[in-house]
Chain A
Amino acid sequence: MQKILIAGATSAIAEATARLYAASGSRLHLLGRNVARLKDIADDLRVRGAADVTTGVLDMNDVDAHASAIEQAITALGEIDIVLVAHGTLPDQPACEASVQVTLREFATNGTSTIAFVTAVVPHLLSRRAGTIAVISSVAGDRGRQSNYVYGAAKAAVTTFLSGLRQRLGRDGVNVLTIKPGFVDTPMTAAFKKGALWATPDAIAAGIERAIDRRAGEAYLPRFWWAIMFVIRHIPEFIFRRLKL
């Protein structure tokens, strides 16, 4: 039985992933801002077969509250096998451009809050020399594009942070997984027109479970995004600066 801590548990990808672990009889501790939604999800996961589900209220931007939320999770779960960090927003890029406050807030939500939470949870996994820290970053972090570079920059910070952490913890038996979804059809992206590149939260969740099982370091989901981002990363800057992406 796996023991799983999920931050940002009311996000669509987190919920879909939690269902997979519930079906295999895991114990879950869910962190999120909305008490009623946490309860709905916890009830659902219990029906789906979770051994136990507990919840805690946490706003990820309240960095000072991270330590006690993690302590509560450990009390509830006993120990942690998997941490999934899944909270996030899709910033309104023009609003960021118009406001320093909005830019910094979005950077905190999608970047520094994640770095803070992961930093706080590392010692607990390190002490057991086992487990996985899985974090949802984004393909948007692979290269800054004019359409969403505040989000991209925050995710780039997360990706780079995790890359270093993975090197550091690899010798100690703790795996760090950077999850890079492409376009996912969730409430976060409700305003977008959907096309062939779009994936469902269920498909992303299956990819996350697979990557955790394999102890992968990095997972583009769906996998074809690796090829797309390979190309985008390698476009020379003198061309890239003229593109409208």
Chain B
Amino acid sequence: MDSPADSWGRYPRTTARVVRVTDRHQPLPPGDASYLPYGNGRSYGDSCLNDGGVLLHTRGLDRFIAFDPATGELTCEAGTLLADILDLAVPQGWFLPVTPGTRFVTVGGAIANDVHGKNHHRSGTFGHHVRAFELLRSDGSRMRCTADENADWFAATIGGLGLTGLVTHATLQLRRIAGPWMVTESHRFGELSEFFALSAGSEADYEYTVAWIDCAATGASLGRGLFSRANHAPSRPSARPTPATRRLSVPLTPPVSMIGPLTLRAFNQFYYHRQHGKVAHAVTHYEPFFYPLDAIGGWNRLYGPRGFLQYQCVVPPGAAMDAMATLVRIIAAAGGGSFLAVLKQFGEQLSPGMLSFPRPGTTLALDFPFRGPTTLDLLNRLDDVVAEAGGAVYPAKDARMSGTRFRQYFPQWEAFSRYIDPRFSSSFWRRVES
């Protein structure tokens, strides 16, 4: 029996038959429908959906297998949440080597999307820290994949959008920390060129860098924002800051999107001016630093029943400054952007996955309430700019890019497609493949 299946953006709405995977030793369930692994459903668009097919829910695969507190090597099942790893590892002096902006994603999802974080310029992608995993194929075969063993499958599966088979368990190399605290700085900037200067000046000494930009600001304020940089605190700070816990949640979906031009403008104005002075210093727990939105359960519902689209692109270094300015101008003129527009410089490290999104350049990410063709038109215009600049759009966040654009952004797609399990498919893949 098919049941409704949503991704984090709640667009598109699909149905699928749900099969729960709870035992990593079992073969895949029998049947004729296509499979797609589904972790915690935090992908924004349709890369985690399989309309009319089977979703293999992996949250039941959440067992740890081994952890060595001396080396920081962790082996766990693929449905384990990054949040569970943090709960286990932080008290023992270890941290995720790379973390996305939410800790409520599974290890399998982090591998399948080769996720990145604020330390990309230092540590690359999540896939760089995956030492090994087991790939279960629909023919019942199991492959141990590492950078040396079945290396092609390793590269195809990292960033492979769950299409190469089911990752049952994985081994990760965690990163040493002295404690849960972060030393952070926030710099207010007035225009985009300042962002590029701050980024360039921070990469050597700061492990984490990211910027928020006010995508509602126009005219003289265009491109203003806050640049944040941070390091893990070397030891326990004397004053004990309060950690963020999940205090709020959005219990139901409002009938219309709570996020429109007015709320957006007001929020951004407030957010930009909230900080006193040009630079603010703080010592904070890692949770509010890395996961501010995790504190508001179900925040995706704020966008109302029609859901929202997330757009994240990367533009290579040479073209970045001009392309970002053009993108920000188009978005500000349209007036439909989000509270959280995020700007970050990727590092030079080559991503380990064939279809990995991160590459050298500047990445911009933001949400748009879904308003039908107007929104789709706007994003197509952004695509024109990104494609022209030789960039790419992030499949994990996409629900609408055309197949032509995808194949342009990811010319490796054809080589990759040979590794797709014949029984696996996704709504995303069917959309971009043709």
Contacts and interface: CB of A to CB of B under 8 A. Distances in A.
Contacts of A47: 64-67, 88
Contacts of A193: 3
Contacts of B88: 47-48
A40 B63 CA distance: 7
Given A187-B60, A190-B20, A43 B66 contact: yes
Contact of B64 (A36, A37, A44): A44
A232 B4 CA distance: 32
Contacts of A187: 20, 22, 60
Nearest to B68: A47
Contacts of B23: 36-37, 40
Contacts of B232: none
B25 A41 contact: no
A40 B21 CA distance: 14
Nearest to B80: A44
Given A36-B25, A48-B88, A43 B64 contact: yes
B24 interface: yes
Contact of A44 (B22, B25, B60, B65): B65
Contacts, number: 28
B63 A43 contact: yes
A48 B62 CA distance: 12
Interface string A98-138: 00000000000000000000000000000000000000000
Interface string B11-24: 00000000010111
Contacts of B60: 187
Interface string A40-57: 110110011000000000
Interface in B1-44: 3, 20, 22-25
B168 to A, nearest CB: 11
Tell me if A's interface is mostly helix, strand, loop or mixed.
helix
Interface residues of A, number: 11
Interface residues of B, number: 13
Interface in A133-180: none
Contacts of B63: 40-41, 43-44
B64 A48 contact: yes
A43 B25 contact: no
Contact of A40 (B3, B20, B24, B67): B24
Contacts of A41: 63
Nearest to A191: B1
A129 B63 CA distance: 35
Interface string B66-93: 1100000000000000000000100000
A187 B60 CA distance: 9
Interface in A181-207: 187, 190, 193
A224 B270 CA distance: 42
A47 B20 CA distance: 24
Nearest to B62: A44
A47 B67 CA distance: 6
A43 B20 contact: no
Given A48-B88, A187-B60, A43 B65 contact: yes
Nearest to A37: B23
Interface string B122-153: 00000000000000000000000000000000
Contacts of A44: 63-65
A93 to B, nearest CB: 19
A43 B24 CA distance: 14
Contacts of B64: 43-44, 47-48
Nearest to A41: B63
Contacts of B24: 40
Nearest to A185: B20
A41 B77 CA distance: 11
Contacts of B20: 187, 190
A13 to B, nearest CB: 13
Contacts of B67: 47
A48 to B, nearest CB: 6
A48 B88 CA distance: 7
B240 to A, nearest CB: 22
Nearest to B65: A43
Interface string B44-68: 0000000000000000100111110
B376 to A, nearest CB: 33
A44 B62 CA distance: 9
Nearest to B60: A187
B174 to A, nearest CB: 13
A225 to B, nearest CB: 21
Interface in A18-61: 36-37, 40-41, 43-44, 47-48
Interface in B241-285: none
Interface in B279-331: none
Nearest to B91: A49
Interface string A76-116: 00000000000000000000000000000000000000000
Contacts of B22: 187
Contacts of B65: 40, 43-44, 47
Contacts of A43: 63-66
Interface of B: 3, 20, 22-25, 60, 63-67, 88
Given A47-B65, A187-B60, 17 more contacts: A36-B23, A36-B25, A37-B23, A40-B24, A40-B25, A40-B63, A40-B65, A41-B63, A43-B64, A43-B65, A44-B63, A44-B64, A47-B64, A48-B64, A187-B20, A187-B22, A193-B3
9 contacts: A36-B23, A40-B63, A40-B65, A41-B63, A43-B63, A44-B64, A187-B20, A187-B22, A187-B60
Which 3 pairs, one residue from A and one from B, show the smallest C-beta to C-beta distance?
A47-B64, A44-B63, A47-B67
